Amino acid sequence: MSLILGIESSCDETAAAVVRDGFEVLSSAVASQIAVHAKLGGVVPELAAREHLKALDPVVSEALSSAGVTANDIDCVAVTQGPGLIPALLVGLSYAKGLSSNLKVPLVGVNHFMAHIYGAFLDTGMEELTDPAGYPMLALVVSGGHTSLVLVSSDGSARQLGCTIDDAAGEALDKGSKLLELGYPGGPVISRISENGNPQAFNFPRPLTGGAGKALAPEHRYNFSFSGIKTALLYHTRNHGGKENFSDELLNDTVASYQMAVVDTLVRKTMLAAKDFNVKQIVLAGGVACNKLLRSMISGRAPKNVKVRIAPPKYCTDNAAMVGGIGFHSFKKGEFISHDADSFARLPGIVKVPFLG
Ligand code: KG4
Ligand code: ZN
């Protein structure tokens, strides 16, 4: 039996969790900085770092006490090493180095992007995760920083089929919300307002899907682009006399149609890749995977013989349970990082996932 303490600080949530043997989440504590960044309309990296510094100790204490364990019971510290905001990552990594050194336990560096994929398996257990009937698996990772399709084989070999060439899907929702002065983060607000609007009212573009009379370029078959949708929203708003002149109905219809354009694009691309690679399972993960419309459309449009696995909402947005969970697999393999390891900002090339093979 191994207890892993996961620590997450890649963006604007400070999180710690205690996870037993990769799947049993004994605690998952998250301190959100949303209130701090909301005033500024987005995440300010240096400010995030300062907030992590304040929050880490109490969050780790909370994770340990709600798990009913002490620091001395921990077998390994797993920490998000990247990708993310460097000032924010550095705080978590330095803290984790200190802790692992004090406790004399190994330190595991976790790839945040992979951890999001793992979040969809936290509640399932090893058997489900390794069941060959679920492979090849296609993962759509959609967050504030990423929009990628990753193909994973049962032996753990993996490759990124495509990603966004400009904004991430979450960024498109956050920026759309900012443009319409609806607040930060935009995803949850847009989702809520959309419930009162008509998603077919306006036809926002579905970039790189081969629509609007434009053939889909082969090199962009699995890529995404969301900056055009955002520009279309800007012109739409201007054409209707500016946000201040929107009726409630126009606002609701605009937001619902905007959300539909983002979600429809994500789902179309996912289904294209799922068919092309004859996948057996589709996994949906990352903060935007909280979105109700996306969850229902991925399930609704997936071919009948394809299993759809969607991360539970509590493991979609940033959390440390996914870090402690995936970290267990590196711990088991003895893949530790040294105390002079650095954080990394960008997603490295994907060749394998750490939780298989
Ligand atoms: O995974 P995450 O917490 O952080 C990153 O790694 O980026 O994702 C944050 C993103 C934000 O863009 C936020 O607007 C979006 O997830 N999000 C949502 C919802 N909840 C959070 N997007 C759509 N619908 C939601 N319900
Ligand atoms: Zn994330």
Atom 14 (ligand 1) nearest CA: 187
In short, whether 119's Cβ falls inside 6 Å of ligand 1 is: no
Say how many C-beta atoms besides its own lie within 10 A of residue 330's C-beta. Answer: 21
* pLDDT tens by residue, 76-103: 999 999 999 999 999 999 999 999 999 9
Residue 335 to residues 19, 24, 103, 178, 204, Cα–Cα distance (Å): 18, 21, 18, 42, 46
pLDDT value for 215: 82
Gap between the Cα atoms of 65 and 233, Å rounded: 47
Residues 306 and 177 in one domain: yes
Residues 180 and 192 in one domain: yes
pLDDT value for 39: 85
11 within some domain: yes
Percent of the chain with pLDDT over 90: 95
**Mean of pLDDT values over 268-287:** 98
Residues 91 and 183 in one domain: no
Residues 114 and 171 in one domain: no
299 within some domain: yes
338 within some domain: no
Residues 307 and 319 in one domain: no
Residues 215 and 239 in one domain: yes
26 φ/ψ angles, rounded to the nearest 5 degrees? -80, -30
In short, whether 191's Cβ falls inside 6 Å of ligand 1 is: yes
Choice from 32, 171, 190, 288 to test ligand 1 binding pocket (greatest atom count within 8 A of CB): 288
pLDDT value for 42: 83
pLDDT value for 90: 98
300 within some domain: yes
pLDDT value for 115: 98
Residues 77 and 216 in one domain: no
In short, whether 174's Cβ falls inside 6 Å of ligand 1 is: yes
Residues 237 and 159 in one domain: yes
CA of 13 to the centre of ligand 2 (A): 9
In short, whether 145's Cβ falls inside 6 Å of ligand 1 is: yes
* pLDDT tens by residue, 229-265: 999 999 999 999 999 999 999 999 999 999 999 999 9
Count the domains in the chain. Answer: 2
**Mean of pLDDT values over 31-49:** 91
In short, whether 6's Cβ falls inside 6 Å of ligand 1 is: no
pLDDT value for 119: 98
pLDDT value for 337: 98
Helices and strands in the chain: count of H runs, count of E runs: 11, 10
In short, whether 167's Cβ falls inside 6 Å of ligand 1 is: no
pLDDT value for 229: 96
Element of type H or E holding 26: strand 24-32
Residues 146 and 258 in one domain: yes
323 within some domain: yes
pLDDT value for 38: 87
CATH number for position 279: 3.30.420.40
34 within some domain: yes
Q: What residues are paired with 13 via a beta bridge?
A: 32
In short, whether 207's Cβ falls inside 6 Å of ligand 1 is: no
- Do the beta carbons of residue 277 and residue 151 sit within 8 Å? yes
Residues 173 and 103 in one domain: no
CA of 113 to the centre of ligand 1 (A): 13
Q: Are strands 13-20 and 24-32 parallel, antiparallel or unpaired?
A: antiparallel
**Mean of pLDDT values over 140-157:** 97
Gap between the Cα atoms of 271 and 186, Å rounded: 25
Expressed as residue numbers, the domain containing 108 is: 3-119+315-333
**Mean of pLDDT values over 271-295:** 98
Residues 138 and 17 in one domain: no
265 within some domain: yes
Residues 138 and 229 in one domain: yes
pLDDT value for 322: 98
List, in order, residues 6 or more apart from 87 with CB less than 8 Å away.
Answer: 45, 46, 48, 49
* pLDDT tens by residue, 178-230: 999 999 999 999 999 999 999 999 999 999 998 767 788 999 999 999 999 99
CA of 43 to the centre of ligand 1 (A): 13
356 within some domain: no
CA of 102 to the centre of ligand 1 (A): 34
- Mean pLDDT over each residue of the chain, to the nearest integer: 97
In short, whether 22's Cβ falls inside 6 Å of ligand 1 is: no
pLDDT value for 114: 98
